[in-house]
Structure 1
Amino acid sequence: MYQIVFSLLLFFNMGFTTGESFFFSSVSDRLRAILENSEPGESLRVRGISLGKVEELQVFYSNRSFDEAWSEQGILTEWAYELRFEIKQAQFDGLQPKDYHIELIDAFFASFEQNKKSKTINPAEEVAELDLLLTDAFFRLATHLERGKVDPSQLKSPWDITRKSSRINAISLLVQALERKEIRKSLEQLYPNFSIYKRGREVIRSLDEKAKEDSLDWKVIKVDKSLKVNDSHAVIPVVRERLIFWGYLKPYSLTDPKKYDSTLFESVKAYQVKNGMEPDGAIGKNTVASLNASPRMLMDKASINLERLRWLPDTIKEAELVLVNIANYRLDYIQRLDTLFSSKVIVGKSFHASPIFSSPLTYLVFSPYWNIPASIARNEIIPSVRKNPNYLEQKRMEVVTTAGKPVDPSQINWSSKNFPYLIRQKPGPDNSLGSVKFMFPNKYSVYIHDTPSKSLFLREDRALSHGCIRLQNPEKFAALLLRDQPQWTEAKIKEAMSRDSELIVNLKSKIPVVLVYLTFWADSKGEPHFRPDIYNRDAELIALLKR
């Protein structure tokens, strides 16, 4: 009764005429009615908008005796405006503000602000509805910031790193945020514990500003062959225009716009360095493909990778770990946030994609046998033996039983579909695994290893293996892993890598190995790095984020 009387007094004090008739019902009464008439498990809808878990809303409001959270005496609070601002800022997390009812929330805000100007009381029904929308938006945004919007287990492309488990209670978080009147701080604490996440948000923010000044036609351009200095081509003016847009080049006078001149050459090299390409200055398919990306497209790419960071469990941020970014063709050995070792790697071909997973590195094998997988033996080795009976000898391969007993190849019917044996390549300089392999047991039979084909590391596209990770500098990596075992000197490691039989060396402590797929990140200086989507996985994720 007190609330009704107070509201009536407020009504007249605001200058309303006594001739106007109205009916005022308290906001808390409306909240109680809406929630108590909603069945657990059923969808609660506000103005046609489906809210999240009814049970969560019921618990939150019943704990506060159904008092409104985002208004006082029918007037929107400062923290209501703060939440609306944070919902809009979610675009820089790569999330969609529309997922958090922003259109309807904005409509309510506009109506209430107009009511304030005309000295009209905000109807209790509308205040209650807006309160529910804001609370549900907070819960939903908090969940997405903490663990991601998309469930990686539902992707067609595999992601076999266990998704981060929830460490917060959304209701408790909101209660605390309202008590402290700190909506932003409460949501920020849900960000992934990786410094690259916040830096990534700032990249999206700057790209958004860049998109606002964008007047270019981002039609797709192609080249049939790499263009070099003094070549002429119709795409040259477009390349020049886009490099000027991105700040790699300043406008300059031209005699022939279609000619690839030395000024453009220097800016192309600078662009290639920034985008992880070989800075040869040639305008090839990778350079052109990268230049086809508009600011909005790059915002999408960054958004996808912030979502991937939200999936990663907190345990990934270990004091010591080996991180392989497949899309960047690089391995980093990190200890206490310092990179002790960084090397180029070769990863799986698109049809033999390196998997995304995490497993502890436990031992090394020097001078390893290559136990050839059955699929490779069936599809590649056996057909080669049929064509060339000396193939096994030439490749230093041997046939063994499952127990490891050698089998005479001449006694095998190579035309038979039944092949109950294993094929392995002996240790040596031509062994496909090189001189050492680094083992982190997993269901994919994937590991890190050396390779005799060193020239492949000079290539820009290094998706070339059957799924394993080939390492450019294995000797240095082995030395770092064994640095707590003094007997493993540089000389002894070199000797172990040139044996004619395997030598297994266990590590004193297990080191997490994490294979990830990030096509974007921001470095310690906040500089963005974009990489090709070599496995064509980004499109599926951006579609789900925008759904």
Structure 2
Amino acid sequence: MTIAAMFQTRARRAVLPALAALMIAAAPQPSQAGVTAFKQAVAEGASREDGLAAHYRATGFEPIWTAQTPLGLARRQALMQAITEAPAHGLPASRYDADGLLARMKAARTPRDLGLVEIELSRVFLRLAHDLHTGMLTPSRVVEDIVREIPLRSDEELLTSFAASDGPPAGFFRGLTPKSGEYGRLIREKQRLERLLDAGGWGPTVPAASLAPGQSGAAVVALRNRLMRMGYLERTASATYDIAMQQAVQAFQAAHGLVADGTAGASTMTEINRPISDRLPMIHVAMERERWLNKPRGKRHVLVNLADFTARIMDDDRLTFETRAVIGKDTAGQRSPEFSDVMEYMEINPVWHVPRSITVKEYLPQMQRNRGAASHLKLFNSRGQEVSRANVNFNAYTARTFPFALKQPPSDRNALGLVKFMFPNKYNIYLHDTPSKDLFNRNVRAFSHGCIRLQQPFDFAYELLAPQQADAKGYFDRILNSGRQTRVDLEEEVPVHIIYRTATVPAKGPVQYRPDIYGRDARIWEALQQAGVSLPAIQG
């Protein structure tokens, strides 16, 4: 039995006697004075929190939890059970103080005591419900580039929905968590890693800086044993770096975003030697991130994983199309943000409207040194009229006073390439083609000013147009060959979710791990620890 399972079993055994004691202590009060005392205590306890106060005022201060009815008991049991199961979701049970709740329920003797217990149960319910539904953290407070709109539910709505629910109370808690297949798989992977950790982890690390096919010896045996424990290699007694081990290393490399050459070089060996205690935080962070995105993603949607440098088209949660992507540089102001929006149209043969920040920070200094610099860009005044460079003294302006805009006409050299995909947003982020094709051959692809560049933008466009064009490729190519800037609206808008996941669990195949390129997950894990999340004490 795992540590978590033992804890849950002990907690379940402790709950029922406490609830029985509460039923005795909370016997119905026959006097009007008792009812009044209960409601006054509820009103006082709820007065400091708007959501609590609004719900109880609307219901005449009727109890949710302390009613001496089968439903009241079922609600208390469901709350306590949800607390015992919180660690399975990566939430710390200590955050909900089950022991404190049980003690207060046992000690309740008067109507006023019950009123105060009622409010405390609601407070704990709200904390747990919010955590299960949209996570413990406010993402933008941890990482400013996570600008995602979280699907928060108000305190009043949660309480009212729970009180009005006609289903089993336990079902309400189950209904709060994300319904994505990914969330369920993350929970199972967390449990699997905890079991392995409890059993000693993946075994001894490999005592070698690198290993290659054909080698043998103690280090190769250690590599073999570790790969077997990780599930990449079938059981074998071979002490040689043979073809089976080479294929296992390739599979490991592919699952960790490394060059899959089958040779355990320095970077591969570093990842192989990482302990489970390095991987579990990545799973915890991924679960929290999944809760931040706890809303329907769209029957068809685009999923951009910044940490994986990929853009995917998903249909009914199945992969339809995938392409490599280039993301923003790991530099302040250029890291790609995380958010969701809706793709409305694409522009074929786009004009690049150079962002103001790039204009004054990069191109203005070049043109001050050499009037003819950046000659591929056209100069326009505030009325949209093209201006000859010969008539402009660039040195007369600063970054603040420069009055012109820069644009690049459609061409093969256009910074946006030949097509861009628009989901208008205040961050000026979109997906687009690029003339810099060589960057897609890199393993780490963080080179842009923040937008997402696609390796296969034409195929991406064909797939998006397929539902509305019988010959999507022919339609696209005719517009492309015209050389004219053309807007093509999508008849059905497509949600776009720009995410950042260093750990993902596919429906088939091994867990995928990626480097924390922007250092965001490290900050989230630190915040989760400050909120009470911890790993089992055993290290492996």
User: 1:99 Cα shift?
Assistant: 0.9
Q: Which residue of 2 aligns with 1:354?
A: 336
Deviates more, 1:458-467 or 1:476-485: 476-485
User: 1:422 Cα shift?
Assistant: 2.1
Q: Given residue 281 of structure 1, which amino acid in structure 2 is its aligned partner?
A: G
Retained in 2: the 8 A contact 1:101–1:133?
A: no
Matches of 1:65 and 1:79, distance apart in 2? 8
Per-residue CA deviations over 1:307-336 (Å, capped at 9, x if unaligned) read 22222252x422232222222222222334
Q: Given residue 309 of structure 1, which amino acid in structure 2 is its aligned partner?
A: E
Per-residue CA deviations over 1:153-182 (Å, capped at 9, x if unaligned) read 4333332232113288444565578x86x4
Matches of 2:45 and 2:120, distance apart in 1? 18
Q: Given residue 27 of structure 1, which amino acid in structure 2 is its aligned partner?
A: A
Aligned: 1:532 with 2:515: yes
Q: Given residue 176 of structure 2, which amino acid in structure 1 is its aligned partner?
A: L
Aligned: 1:94 with 2:93: no
Cα distance change of structure 1 residues 71 and 208 upon mapping to structure 2, 3 Å threshold: farther
The within-5 A match list for 1:45-124 is 63-64=62-63, 67=66, 83-104=79-100
User: Which runs of no fewer than 5 residues in structure 2 stay unpaired?
Assistant: 1-22, 532-540
Q: Which has the larger radius of gyration?
A: 1
The within-5 A match list for 1:173-184 is 175=163, 182-184=168-170
Matches of 1:310 and 1:384, distance apart in 2? 46
The within-5 A match list for 1:112-511 is 136-166=123-153, 169-171=157-159, 175=163, 182-214=168-200, 229=213, 242-249=226-233, 250=235, 252=237, 254=239, 264-283=245-264, 287-288=268-269, 290-291=271-272, 293-312=274-293, 314=295, 316-351=296-331, 352-385=334-367, 390-393=372-375, 396-418=376-398, 419-486=402-469, 489-511=472-494
Matches of 2:84 and 2:336, distance apart in 1? 37
Q: Which residue of 1 aligns with 2:25?
A: 26
User: 1:450 Cα shift?
Assistant: 0.7
Retained in 1: the 8 A contact 2:216–2:239?
A: no
User: 1:531 Cα shift?
Assistant: 2.4
Matches of 1:242 and 1:34, distance apart in 2? 61
Matches of 2:207 and 2:38, distance apart in 1? 56
Count of residue pairs brought into register by the alignment: 491
Q: Given residue 377 of structure 2, which amino acid in structure 1 is its aligned partner?
A: M
Per-residue CA deviations over 1:515-540 (Å, capped at 9, x if unaligned) read 22222232224853332222211123
Q: Which residue of 1 aligns with 2:538?
A: none
Per-residue CA deviations over 1:460-512 (Å, capped at 9, x if unaligned) read 11122111111111112222333355486534423433454422223333222
User: 1:222 Cα shift?
Assistant: 11
Q: TM-score, normalized by length of structure 1?
A: 0.74
Q: Given residue 317 of structure 1, which amino acid in structure 2 is its aligned partner?
A: R
SS across alignment from 1:193: coil
Matches of 1:233 and 1:378, distance apart in 2? 60
Retained in 2: the 8 A contact 1:347–1:465?
A: yes
Q: TM-score, normalized by length of structure 2?
A: 0.75
Matches of 2:128 and 2:65, distance apart in 1? 22
Per-residue CA deviations over 1:440-465 (Å, capped at 9, x if unaligned) read 11111111111122222222111221
Per-residue CA deviations over 1:348-404 (Å, capped at 9, x if unaligned) read 1122111222222222221222222222233333444456665434xx333232334
Q: Percent of aligned positions with the same letter in both sequences?
A: 28
User: 1:215 Cα shift?
Assistant: 5.2
Q: Which residue of 2 aligns with 1:47?
A: none
Cα distance change of structure 1 residues 480 and 385 upon mapping to structure 2, 3 Å threshold: same
Retained in 1: the 8 A contact 2:39–2:61?
A: no
Retained in 1: the 8 A contact 2:301–2:314?
A: yes
Retained in 1: the 8 A contact 2:326–2:448?
A: yes
Matches of 2:208 and 2:391, distance apart in 1? 55
Matches of 1:83 and 1:522, distance apart in 2? 29
Matches of 1:527 and 1:328, distance apart in 2? 15
Cα distance change of structure 1 residues 207 and 160 upon mapping to structure 2, 3 Å threshold: same
Give the alignment's Cα RMSD to 1 decimal.
Answer: 4.3
Deviates more, 1:294-303 or 1:523-532: 523-532
